[in-house]
Amino acid sequence: MDQQQKPKVEQPPQKKMLRTSRFPGFYNFDVWERLDKLGDWYPLTTKEKWILKNETLTAEKADVMIENVIGVFGLPLGVAVNFRINDKDWVIPMAVEETSIVAACSNLAKLIRENGKLTANASHAVMEGQVQLVHPHDSKQAAKDIMEAKERLLNLANKHDRTLVSLGGGAKDLYVRRLETDSGIMLIVHLAVDVVDAMGANAVNTMVEALGPVLGEIAKAEVVCQIISNLCDKSLVKAKVELNPDCLKSKTFSGMAVAERIVKAFHFADADPYRAATHNKGIMNGVDAVLIATGNDWRAVEAGVHAYAAHTGRYRSLSKYRIEGGKLIGEIELPIAVGVVGGVSKLHTGVELLLRLMGMPSRRELAEVVATVGLVQNMAALRALVTEGIQEGHMTLHARNVAYSAGAIGDMAIAVANQMIQEGRIRFDRAKEILKKMIVHKQGTPENGQ
């Protein structure tokens, strides 16, 4: 007799675990515990954990990167957690020596993911090279002749980087600007190049150096400079934060009052270049930290960003804030040129690993992350500035720095720092006094003079 087949018991569908950048209490762990926790985000091997903790760059590799190498110089490497940008979670590496930057970004990112949203959008990766033509025989006719030769010039430029062209990039446009200078009339020829996922400096410089002699002949002019421009205003990135202001409340102010004060602080920075310089430096605290960790030319981005801050003819705030529909809206627009292929990413073991930790972002995604971190860092700084003041946020780590400088280590350094904070006396001499008393107390009072 055939046994009746048992009916299949339908199992409830397994809920797929999604990666999240939310790491509660991450700051409470020690370094190895943090690296272990990151295994929930990216499967780090023991060797990779060791590289991140101890040896992201060796002197031997540094020796092929720059000249006269005598060693390597370290910066603290942290990760900003809690970020969700365009509905995608990110764990973001940041290399920076300044206290509170990583914490401020992570803390505000947590508030935003629970009470608002972050969005960003990067334009195409277009970099421009410039060819300087001095003393043209007839500047108007020379400009006309150059533009008539545009297609031939673009084809010539693209012959010098067929790989870039095969990836969909390459020289895409060319135009001429006329400048009146103390050296006389100059024609500046701009070559616009789509650099795809590279930063593109080498590609652009090679192209404009190839075009220089040809342009000199066409314009009957002297060629002086042929070089990339770091004002990459064809590669703009926009980021936006929308936030319910209730989560910003402090001991003294309601959430909406804090939001209104942030807007007023923005108006101050937008109207006064003295304040704008410090305001924008706060933005670059976040931007530069990500650029350094991902092996990008932070100096080039700094130059371009600060030039763009003055593109209206006056140096102004790079970020903007307003209250709209009961929400605090923050926006930023930055010219950002980054690369995720070639260059340092192939030489620096740490950079390569950190890009993998991020999920191997495209150039566009990395630019969006960089701009967003700059905006979040700026909003966090403004929030602190208009409420308890900027110093309170720095207090804990500053106190620990002083304690370490006085000779305290481990738990004792934390205890010394906490006592100085309670007393409101964070000074080297006070740290020494507290440390001495703690050591005596720990050792105990010698008995019978022994």
Active-site pick, 161, 270, 297, 365: 297
What the block records as the tokens of 258 is 């804090």
Q: Which amino acid is at 8?
A: K
Task: Give the CA angle between residues 156, 190, 164 to the nearest 5°.
Answer: 45
| Cβ atoms within 10 Å of 208's Cβ, excluding its own | 27
Based on the residue annotation, tell me whether 124 is a catalytic residue of this protein: no
Active-site pick, 172, 220, 327, 394: 394
Based on the residue annotation, tell me whether 346 is a catalytic residue of this protein: no
Active-site pick, 33, 36, 40, 98: 98
What the block records as the tokens of 297 is 């030319």
Pairing mode, strands 126-134 and 222-229: antiparallel
Q: Are 135 and 180 contacting, i.e. CB atoms less than 8 angstroms apart? A: no
- Which residues lie below 8 Å from residue 247, measured CB to CB, with a gap of 6+? 111, 114, 115, 255
The span from the CA of 288 to the CA of 390, in Å, is 20
Active-site pick, 37, 124, 249, 281: 281
Based on the residue annotation, tell me whether 160 is a catalytic residue of this protein: no
Based on the residue annotation, tell me whether 63 is a catalytic residue of this protein: no
The span from the CA of 355 to the CA of 295, in Å, is 9
The residues annotated with a catalytic role in the active site are: 98, 281, 297, 394
